[in-house]
Chains A and B, each alone.
Chain A
Amino acid sequence: QKEVEQNSGPLSVPEGAIASLNCTYSDRGSQSFFWYRQYSGKSPELIMSIYSNGDKEDGRFTAQLNKASQYVSLLIRDSQPSDSATYLCAVKVLGGSYIPTFGRGTSLIVHP
């Protein structure tokens, strides 16, 4: 079992709706959490990072972290067709090699 789990999707939402992307992780020592967006045929791009429990908002994006339940989510408000992409969750454990572990990604489709 991979240490970082995501539903592969695709998650399909109508334009203007809220898209909710979820990620669970197995290592309770995880300290840092990241969301990357990857358009088809392109490279991943960091869009959010979160380090403490609770919500972190950046424009239409909100990252939510719950360390007790070992999940991190990404909410995209007022979804646009341009948000259609694969969203990768990454988790970094304190200590060790300090390299984040990636989930396999969730494909999001926002249809007009």
Chain B
Amino acid sequence: TAGITQAPTSQILAAGRSMTLRCTQDMRHNAMYWYRQDLGLGLRLIHYSNTAGTTGKGEVPDGYSVSRANTDDFPLTLASAVPSQTSVYFCASSDRRNTGELFFGEGSRLTVL
């Protein structure tokens, strides 16, 4: 079973370039999330979507944008990458009835130079 698929697995990006991290789920979950994880800071929520067509800002949304055109896909875009966006990015999803029980993708490691 695929669950949640993230791409790319890792990427090195020059500062100022744009980048889209892709996330696709096949569980028909209503809610999807993007987190970044940095050493010593834990998981921090960037953006979320409770259902297709809606998005919301999390704890650290600046420099990132998302869209939710359909149930399955939730891409995260960095319009102009900066070195502080070097991190591991996790996409997650949950059923609307159990929004604390998250299923995570394998992560995307992004390095901005």
Contact = CB atoms under 8 A, between A and B. Distances in A.
Interface in B55-113: 56, 58, 90, 99-107
Contact of A88 (B42, B100, B107): B42
A45 B104 contact: yes
Interface stretch (A56-64, A76-84, A95-103): A95-103
A92 B48 contact: no
Most buried by A among B40, B43, B99, B105: B43
Interface string B40-56: 11110100101000001
Interface of B: 31, 33, 40-43, 45, 48, 50, 56, 58, 90, 99-107
16 contacts: A8-B40, A43-B104, A43-B107, A44-B43, A44-B90, A49-B100, A88-B43, A90-B100, A97-B50, A98-B50, A98-B100, A99-B58, A99-B99, A100-B102, A102-B43, A105-B42
